Amino acid sequence: MDITLNNQRALVTGANSGIGEAVVRGLAASGARVVVNYVSHPEAADKIVQDIQAAGGEAFSVLADVSDPAQVAAMFAQIDSHYGGLDILVNNAGIDGAHALSWDADPAAWLRVLQINLFGSFLCAQQALKRMVPQKSGVILNITSVHDQIAWSGYSAYTASKGGESMMMKTLAQEAAPFGVRVLAVAPGAVRTPINQSVWSDPTTLADLLTKIPLGRMGETTDIANMVVFLCSAQASYVTGTTIYVDGAMTDFPAFSHGG
């Protein structure tokens, strides 16, 4: 199967590290012209752009806080100026937030998680749809999480945001389908990134984590990127309004593998 995204114009938010970086590199390697969004560490975004350009691809970076409507609008204006529109949006930017049981949570910190993860995804999707609906083509893909259905004590804002992203995705897919635009989600499980290095670098915490993953290994960022590239391609043209779990079967309730 030859998966190509030649000349497709793609924006990945939060793309200068971790899953976002792997996704933007994967899209570029498949022929897409990419936009590397970031909110910090511009040097990392610049390095990704340089690598893609050195390999013969097209890329540029743009600073924007996805939770700010004005910054999102300005980012899409830059994309219009560079590429004349957009074909693929990957909503990846997000934060876990600080650990806090619900009765101890700081309301402002709780709200900030939703502003970035959920409202930010909406703002970017809204701008993308304004371009994709008239052209009657396009793909919007939310990077959600297994925690759109698995509870996570101490992270109620994160789970609420990911559950919200999932249902928002379904609603936008329903709205956009008559115009040839697909909207869907990829939900990673435990993926090895710098953010969770404290978990996978410690043999004890890693062993505990692996008991939650039937496949017996953590995911790699390329596992997510490969799925995203496929779902954004013509080979997945009949897939919309659904979430694909890339989680090593973490959502398959491994604790019940030996009976109830």
Active-site residue set: 158
* Contact yes or no for 227/186 (Cβ under 8 A): yes
| DSSP symbols for the chain | -----TT-EEEETT-SSHHHHHHHHHHHHTT-EEEEEESS-HHHHHHHHHHHHHTT--EEEEE--TT-HHHHHHHHHHHHHHHSS-SEEEE----------GGG--HHHHHHHHIIIIIHHHHHHHHHHHHHHHHT-EEEEEE--GGGTS--TT-HHHHHHHHHHHHHHHHHHHHHGGGTEEEEEEEE-SB--GGGHHHHTSHHHHHHHHTT-TTSS-B-HHHHHHHHHHHHSGGGTT--S-EEEESTTGGG-GGGTT--
The set of residues, in sequence order, having a beta carbon less than 8 Å from that of 162 and lying 6+ positions away, is 117, 144, 145, 147, 148, 187
